[in-house]
Each structure stands twice: as structure tokens, then as C-alpha cells.
Structure 1
Amino acid sequence: MPTLDVREIPPPQRHPKIHETFEEMDSGEVLEIVNDHEPKPLFYEMQAEVESFDADNYEVEREAAEKFVARFPKQ
């Protein structure tokens, strides 16, 4: 499972990096993203713009005050 810890990436570069990584994945893979907040805006962006994003199987867990782990599955 590809994992991106975007907490160290400058905010303007986060979504482009995530989209690039997701695009390179194979169908059936899951992109795991570690972030300092719940990535709701990214979820809605992916849902609207990325046909291969499996929004029904999206998951997010809060593991600490500033650690959220989200899983973005690819159809």
C-alpha cells in the first residue's frame, strides 16, 4: 500500500503530489495518507474529479491529536 506522509509537504504541494501518486497506482490499490487534519476537502475533490476513486470504501482514522490516516482506494 503506497503511503504518503504529507505533514512535511508544504500545503500548496500536497494535493498535486497526492493526485500524482494516486494516478500511478494500479486498480485495487489503496493510497494511505498521513495528515495533520482530517482530509475532507481532499475527499470531496477526489470524489468530484477522479473517476477511479472508490469513495464508498474511503476510511479515515484519528490516531493522535494531529495525526489522521486516510485510505483512498482505487477502483
Structure 2
Amino acid sequence: MENSNTNILNATLLHPSIKHATIFARYDELKPGEHFILHNDHDPKPLYYQLVQQKGEVFTWEYLEQGPEWYKIKITKK
């Protein structure tokens, strides 16, 4: 079972040059059925398309909070 403190990734704390690589690495660490919550200060929809392009449709993308200040997305590996 995942620890609720470790399955949160606050992208606002990441330097832009490593942001997407860090998110992809976190996704790759997941086992099927596991998830993490991505916190961001803008809609990361371009990241969604990048994940689909590189990984295929092997994940779910669920908005838990959708602005205007914060976006929280639950990303689950199928």
C-alpha cells in the first residue's frame, strides 16, 4: 500500500529543467494500480499529451482540483 505522504509530487517545487523527467520517473516507479497525486500551479494538460505519446494510454488522469490557483491530478498506472 502506498504511503499518503510519498504519493504526492508537488511540481511547483521542481526546477523547470527537470520537471517532466521527474514526473515521468515517478510514473515509471508505480506498479499497476498504484497512483500519485501531481500538484501544480497551472493546468499540466501538455504533460498529459506527452505521457500518452511516450507511454500510450496505460494510465488514468483524474482532476481532483482544477484551478484557478491549484491543479491536483491523480495519475494511476493501469
**TM-score bin, normalised by smaller chain:** 0.7 to 0.9
Which has the larger helix fraction?
A: 1
Q: Where does 1:38-57 land on structure 2 (aligned, <5 Å)?
A: 38-51=43-56, 53-54=58-59, 57=60
- Counterpart for residue 6 of structure 1: 11
- Structure 1 residues 52 and 25: alpha-carbon distance in aligned structure 2, compared to 1, 3 A threshold: farther
Cα RMSD between the aligned structures? 1.6
- Counterpart for residue 37 of structure 1: 42
Kindly state the Cα deviation for residue 25 of structure 1 after the two structures are TM-superposed: 1.0
Q: State the identity as a percent.
A: 26
Gaps of 5+ in 2: none
- Say if 1:27 and 1:74, in contact at 8 Å, map to a contact too: yes
Number of equivalences:
72
TM-score by length of 2: 0.80
**1:65 and 2:68 correspond:** yes
Kindly state the Cα deviation for residue 53 of structure 1 after the two structures are TM-superposed: 3.1
